[in-house]
Chains A and B, each alone.
Chain A
Amino acid sequence: MVDLKKAIDAGGHCLLEMPSGTGKTVSLLSLIVAIQANYKEKRKLIYCSRTVPEIEKALAELRNLIEYRTKCGEKDEYLGIGLTSRKNLCINSSVNQEKWGKVVDARCRNLTASWIREKSKLYPPGEVPLCNFYEKMENDNERQRMLIPDGVYTLEELREYGKEQGHCPYYMARRTIPFANAVIYSYHYLLDPKVAELVSKELSKDCIVVFDEAHNIDNVCIESLSIDITKPNLDASAKSIAKLRDVIEDIKKKDSQRLRDEYDKLVEGLMAASQERDEDVYLSNPILPEDLSHEAVPGNIRQAEHFVAFLRRFVEYLKTRMRAQQVVAESPMSFLQNCREVTLIERQPLSQRLTSLVRTLELSDLNDYYALHKVAAFATLVATYEAGFMLILEPFENDTIPNPIFHYACLDASIAIKPIFRRFKTVVITSGTLSPLDMYPKILNFQAAVQESYSMTLTRNCFLPLVVTRGSDQVAISSKFEVRNDPAVVRNFGQILVEFSKIVPDGIVAFFPSYLYMESIVAMWNDMGILNEAWKHKLIFVETPDAAETSLALENYRKACDNGRGAILLSVARGKVSEGIDFDHNYGRAVIMFGVPYQYTESRILKARLEFLRENYRIRESDFLTFDAMRHAAQCVGRVLRGKTDYGLMIFSDKRFARADKRNKLPRWLNQFITDACTNLSTDMALVTAKKFLRTMAQPFERDQLGVWSVEDVERQERSNVGVGGRAAQFN
């Protein structure tokens, strides 16, 4: 807290690592709320989290906090709000039954787009379908300034409130953002330039931005600027271009006036845009850096039909490129060069032009144009950035199946996050696993005012990390490529699974480095009879790349843990399970890491990225790979520990975990419990230790909290270093 206060006062960025389940969220929130309340200028809190349940949790915490403050006599009008996709917020029964987020978005637009609403005024009521909730909100809006009363709303409450008032919760939340004191939403609303433009444009400069669970923030940044284009995408976009052309022809016949208008508007709009950018009040769009956005839309694509012809040429060009038989990796510059030679296309921003055209043509069914949008975004990105990107064409999947994919890969995580660091005074990045801390400032290219890793104060040692380096037959175990399919190693891995399934109650989660390896190892276990052995003690569930299947497996896994049957979940270190899902209490009494979860190093994108990192940030390949592997490992084992009453075993089974350079990269709170005695164990030694641990942990737990400071403690601390702890006193 003190560190955070320092960072906020200094107006710098800050990087904090705090173990999970120790009230990270609430301590962050309480300090920031206190600052908001005590300073004259209202600074807004923007709290970004990763998944919808996490957003919900943060909102609930915030509400508790505000309630607590009210109880303590603080009078503040506080409005906290969460925002998520339409899919989660929509209350229109005809729309929210759709399964796919994109379809919901498209249908919502069909009901609420401005031209549709215009149209409906011309026709008798009922002719053109509209969303009642949106209409009601608009009407109320015109009559009085519509605002949500102060308070903190969780997503569910927002929906309830929307239902009560007959307002659309999604748009309500979006309109309230400028007035709210705290906004909690997903990373993407801030990082992804396509979305950020819509949602986060009007945020003022002195907001405090918090990225929670941010250990993957570099990947999010990269994903938000990377695009993959496949053959079906191109086919679909060719089709939609044809359709577009038809529509244009049609309109031209009927009223050429509208096209004319659009053209004028475009020119006008560009002028306005450049003025706005001069004032530099808005989040500068990273898609369009200064030089490009100042350029007007070039003459040859201003006319609608020209633009369409242009798009068609581009798609055709991509198609020819895809016919290539060998892997091609090139920089955006050479791609553009080539493109110009072949098709005479200059680099131009395409996607905005497409959006404006679609708006003019009143095409409401955006779903159809999704592929085309993707291509346009691709073209824009290629045209925009020169450094830090790489174009890779892979004609074959797994070297055999022809499935050409154009990867436009962002290699530099700092590009997407740069505008955020530049714009906001304070950015707080926090997570349970950020070690080693100096890596993040490097790859994200920023200067941290404060970076700190906290250890944990625990009443009892509620987790036991064990590093198992050899099986009971003393054969070293490792998921190293050369030995990973060695029967002895596989058998020893199996042995670990069976033995621990005997002594660990309820749930065990086992993580493998990759799906491929998991499949091969499970097949070998089946042949060896190891699965049958494990079956006697626990049921076995497997995570697959398919989300629906996995959630079914998870549900049954939980059931088996609840009714005493016990279960094992085999999953993958980078899969869905390892990221968002908690295995608290009986759902995960032990985590077993089979091998070190290195990335698939043969991937061309990864290779390109490693090279980029080495050249630009002087990070060695092996350093980055280890860093990445260890942060995933820490993330996986962190799944079992969600709070102080929880306990769990953490078993690292690979001989490489015993090496000091690997262990140093684990977070501090984890490292402090790895004793020398349990860094080099064989399976049977680990079993004995684990048994004893489980027995001790099962004893009734007297709840005397360590690390809770009373008011006196805080005052004493304050006296010793005046001024620093002042703010903290309020909440302890």
Chain B
Amino acid sequence: MTKIINSNEELIDIDDEAQNANQQIGYAWEEEYKRSWDVLQEDEDGGLKHTVEHLQSRKRKRLERDTSIIKRGIIRHMFLIIDLSEAMLEKDLRPSRLDLTLSYAEQFILEFFDQNPISQLGVIVSKSGVAEKLMGLTGNPMDNINVLKKKNIDTDGEPSLQNALEMARSSLIHVPAHGSREILIIMGSLTSCDPGDINETIDNLVSENIRVSIVGLAAEVQICKLMCKKTKGTYGVVLNEAHFKDLLFEIIPPPPVSIVKSKSELVVMGFPRGVNESMPSLCAWYDYACIYRNAVKGISNL
């Protein structure tokens, strides 16, 4: 089911852009001009086959990649860190880096819970050198989306990678070992204002099996590259709006499980069981007899 949705989205991307263009704040002449016909280049015979194939190949790549058989962890604990520095006000992505990021983040959250229904997600933002947790780990997509509504968000100063990572780490450290621990950073700034040595933080992340993936909006930053490489995450820098979405949505399919963790083969799942007891018994929480006791217990296991 999800796969079908994916491919549909690929096709209606153009509509998305048209929609974005409507929200546009700046004037048209403020932007870098774009010649959409440049994308189409004829080959020697004057045909467009090659170009069209190229455009389609991206989609195919994604589908092809999904065919290989690897074990994926489906219980994920992820923090989405959004950079709210001044650099996010740049308008090189339309309508602006910030607006685009927020709208994609919303789509991302929905899609994430759609494909990873029993995972949890939290949101952290970082501005003027501090990190702020907008929402702790939760299984409800709407909680996350609501905190990202535009009115709550303003930008200031520089981000602090280290603070944000430490905050995410302190929350992720307690999650059970059977789920994956992940951090996704959307980073518009090229600098980070850190209180200490970020390399120590990276080493801690590595030792705690936290995977850090970063989507950069401007250019390649060495420390990000290093961090993603060490923690086995992915690092991508966006070329344009559509590429931004691609990079972001690449994170959504569950990652392969690392061998170290896979010792817990099976996870105990609880479902309500109807047990008929011969006589009424006392419930631990309420003062009255409760015949649903076992059923409630089952749910709480979940």
Contact = CB atoms under 8 A, between A and B. Distances in A.
Interface of A: 502-506, 536-538, 561-566, 585-586, 589, 688, 691, 694-700
B223 A562 contact: yes
A691 B222 contact: no
B161 interface: yes
B239 A696 contact: yes
A506 B220 CA distance: 9
B216 interface: yes
Nearest to A691: B92
B218 A565 contact: no
13 contacts: A502-B87, A503-B219, A505-B190, A506-B190, A506-B221, A563-B223, A564-B221, A564-B222, A565-B192, A695-B239, A696-B239, A698-B236, A699-B237
B262 interface: no
Contacts of A506: 190, 221-222
Would you list the 9 A-B pairs with minimal beta carbon distance, nearest first? A586-B222, A564-B223, A698-B237, A698-B220, A694-B219, A564-B192, A566-B191, A505-B221, A505-B190
B239 A699 contact: yes
B229 to A, nearest CB: 12
B167 interface: no
B198 A695 contact: no
A265 B52 CA distance: 90
| Most A CB within 10 A of own CB, among B190, B197, B224 | B190
B91 to A, nearest CB: 12
Main secondary structure of the interface of B (DSSP, over half): loop
| Most B CB within 10 A of own CB, among A506, A561, A698, A700 | A698
| Most A CB within 10 A of own CB, among B161, B220, B238 | B220
B238 A561 contact: no
Interface string B198-221: 110000000000000000101111
Nearest to A538: B191
B190 A562 contact: no
B220 A697 contact: yes
Contacts of B218: 503, 505, 691, 694-695
Given A561-B222, A695-B219, A688 B239 contact: no
A304 to B, nearest CB: 64
A564 B224 contact: yes
| Most B CB within 10 A of own CB, among A538, A561, A564, A585 | A564
A696 B92 CA distance: 14
Contacts of B190: 502-506, 537, 566
A561 B191 CA distance: 9
B57 to A, nearest CB: 14
A696 B190 CA distance: 16
A695 B191 contact: no
Contacts of A505: 190, 218-222
Contacts of B224: 564
B32 interface: yes
Nearest to A690: B219
A698 B222 contact: no
A591 to B, nearest CB: 16
Given A564-B192, A691-B219, 4 more contacts: A504-B190, A537-B190, A564-B198, A565-B191
A238 to B, nearest CB: 56
